[in-house]
Amino acid sequence: LRDKLQTAQERMFRFSLYITIYADTEKGLRDIETNLRSILESRLIYIKPALYQQKEGFVCTSPYDLDLLMVTTLMNTAPLSSTFPFISFDLSSNEGILYGINRHNNSLVLFDRFTLANSNSVIFAVSGAGKSYMVKLEILRYLMLGVDGIIIDPENEYKFLAEAVGGSFFNISLASEHHINPFDLPPPREDEKAEDVLRTNIINLVGLMRIMLGGLTPEEDGIMDRALTETYAAKDITPETDPKLWGRKEGLPFPIMSDLEAVLSTMEGAESLVRRLQRFTKGVYAGFFNQPSNIDMKNRLVVFGIRDMEDELRPMALFMILRYIWKTITSEMKKRLLIVDEAWWLMKTEDGASFLFGTVKRARKYWLGVTTITQDVNDFMKSDYGKPIITNSSLVLLMKQSPATINVVQKTFNLTEEEKMLLLEAPVGEGMFFAGTKHVLIKVLASYTEDQIITTAPEELLKIKQAKKELGG
Ligand SMILES: Nc1ncnc2c1ncn2[C@@H]1O[C@H](COP(=O)(O)OP(=O)(O)OP(=O)(O)O)[C@@H](O)[C@H]1O
Ligand SMILES: [Mg+2]
């Protein structure tokens, strides 16, 4: 210590610590005092009441910068620092991206989510709190670090971002020319058998059918399982054939929905299934559900816009998109972020929620960080998969909450009363940022250029459109 003092690495301080206790009754006061005493004494800190000097003591703990008691102890810097009353964890590291500004001490929250136990995050806040804004900023900054992004966008609000960085934007709707075939299979990885790939996908597909056909009885479940296996087999896609040929136009192309219908119509007890499936193989729905895939996932930023999808079909479309994305993710190892905005659309159905949870849980193994964005915590937590998704997300961002949801939020994330009040009154773009075991108050801040790319403020968008028109002449 002497050496450190001589070289001024440490300093000596005269230090006093005073605590004022408030209570409504004398008994309450004593209880708190006893409690406090035992907490501190267990850490070998002994406190004494300021007998006959209560008034001076009170003045000391008021913000007057006066010490009338002058009961001091000598301490050097290191132990003294542990008494710093504003516990603010530094979330600054040498790598990663700027998430925002730490509201406790104005330091920068610099951080790489890929260094955490898992790279998943969840974001909860009311509409307009700045969820999408923050996520866009994050993806924009991660793109610069070589991380790719895939976004499921129910509002088509990431389109501009995709255009600005040269990414792909797929408008998924009944009328669009972009199709996803749910029968597509990923190529098996080296450690995977063709049989397992087929099996897993058939189980998934039964899940999709459950959503599409409005539930399946246990018998129908069994029939569907068999029918799917046969549908693949009819195209020679079986555990015995070479997976390299699967899905090739000149090899063994994947079946489509009407192939399943054909198989089902030959099976006994499947009449009702066939009837229900025909909604998707004939008529207006066929354009989307009964086509081979033609979506290219090669771009570094890929956005699936589903705003124009019929509300009724959205959970299915989401499920299909998510499966398609998962296929891409598992077939090539790469650092990626997957963003599911307005995730409650997916959480609406049991199978959708379960698939999302599966994705979140296995993401780490594929170098993937899944960001789940939700407005309504109540809805999210109602699903059996809500809590596990949160548990599997090392990163949590809470922004402005509504009085209707705050209690669930408080319970879920163990917030103190102050933190609760903070969240109720948080301005746009501010919130609490949990990373692993640490948390800070954060303000999300974008540069002017970034803001121009990611804003959703209608008047800003109009101005940008205007400017573009003028430039484009
Ligand atoms: N950190 C920020 N700094 C400046 N403006 C912001 C910030 N965050 C959000 N905004 C602005 O606030 C508005 C709402 O933000 P955003 O679209 O991100 O809300 P949201 O939480 O995604 O809402 P919704 O749930 O309705 O999609 C936008 O106009 C956006 O430009
Ligand atoms: Mg949004």
Q: What is the mean pLDDT of the chain?
A: 88
Q: Which atom of ligand 1 is nearest to the CA of 100?
A: 1
Structure tokens at 451: 């803001």
What CATH fold (topology level) applies to the domain 194-287? Helicase, Ruva Protein; domain 3 (1.10.8)
pLDDT at residue 89, as a whole number: 53
Within a 10 A sphere around the Cβ of 120, how many other Cβ atoms?
A: 27
What does the alpha-carbon distance between residue 65 and residue 67 come to, in Å, rounded to a whole number?
7
Asked whether 130 lines ligand 1 (CB < 6 A), one says: yes
Q: Read off the pLDDT of residues 415-429 as tens digits, 9 standing for 90 and up.
A: 888 889 999 999 999
> Cα of 456 to ligand 1 centre, how many Å?
7
Across the range 196-222, mean pLDDT stands at 90
Closest ligand to residue 447's CA: 1
Best mutation site among 109, 133, 153 for ligand 1, i.e. most ligand atoms within 8 A of its Cβ?
A: 133
- The percent of residues above 70 in pLDDT, for the chain, comes to 96
Helices then strands (H, E): number in the chain?
Answer: 20, 13
Across the range 136-140, mean pLDDT stands at 94
> Cα of 27 to ligand 1 centre, how many Å?
49
Q: What are phi and psi of 389, to 5 degrees?
A: -65, -40
pLDDT at residue 86, as a whole number: 44
Q: Given pLDDT bands bounded at 50, 70 and 90, which one contains residue 84? A: low
Asked whether 126 lines ligand 1 (CB < 6 A), one says: no
Report the amino acid identity of residue 387.
Answer: K
Query: Which single residue is written with the structure tokens 């915590």?
Result: 377
Q: Read off the pLDDT of residues 147-188 as tens digits, 9 standing for 90 and up.
A: 999 999 998 899 989 988 999 999 998 888 888 999 998 888
Write out 99-139 in H/E/C secondary structure.
EEEECCCCCEEEECHHHCCCCCEEEECCCCCCHHHHHHHHH
Q: Read off the pLDDT of residues 221-232 as tens digits, 9 standing for 90 and up.
A: 999 999 999 999
**CATH 1.10.8.730 domain residues, the chain:** 194-287
> Cα of 117 to ligand 1 centre, how many Å?
28
Asked whether 128 lines ligand 1 (CB < 6 A), one says: yes
What CATH fold (topology level) applies to the domain 97-171+300-472? Rossmann fold (3.40.50)
Query: Which single residue is written with the structure tokens 């993806």?
Result: 139
Asked whether 375 lines ligand 1 (CB < 6 A), one says: yes
Across the range 24-46, mean pLDDT stands at 90
Q: Read off the pLDDT of residues 48-62 as tens digits, 9 standing for 90 and up.
A: 888 898 899 899 888
Q: Given pLDDT bands bounded at 50, 70 and 90, which one contains residue 472? A: low
Q: Which atom of ligand 1 is nearest to the CA of 375?
A: 25
pLDDT at residue 9, as a whole number: 82
What does the alpha-carbon distance between residue 468 and residue 473 come to, in Å, rounded to a whole number?
8
The DSSP bridge partners found for residue 441 are 432
> Cα of 155 to ligand 2 centre, how many Å?
8
At residue 264, does pLDDT exceed 50? yes
> Cα of 439 to ligand 2 centre, how many Å?
23
**CATH 3.40.50.300 domain residues, the chain:** 97-171+300-472
Of these ranges, 41-45, 281-285, 369-373, 455-459, the one predicted with the greatest mean pLDDT is 369-373
Q: Whose CA is nearest to atom 25 of ligand 1?
A: 127
Q: Read off the pLDDT of residues 265-283 as tens digits, 9 standing for 90 and up.
A: 999 888 999 999 998 998 7
Closest ligand to residue 452's CA: 1
Asked whether 358 lines ligand 1 (CB < 6 A), one says: no
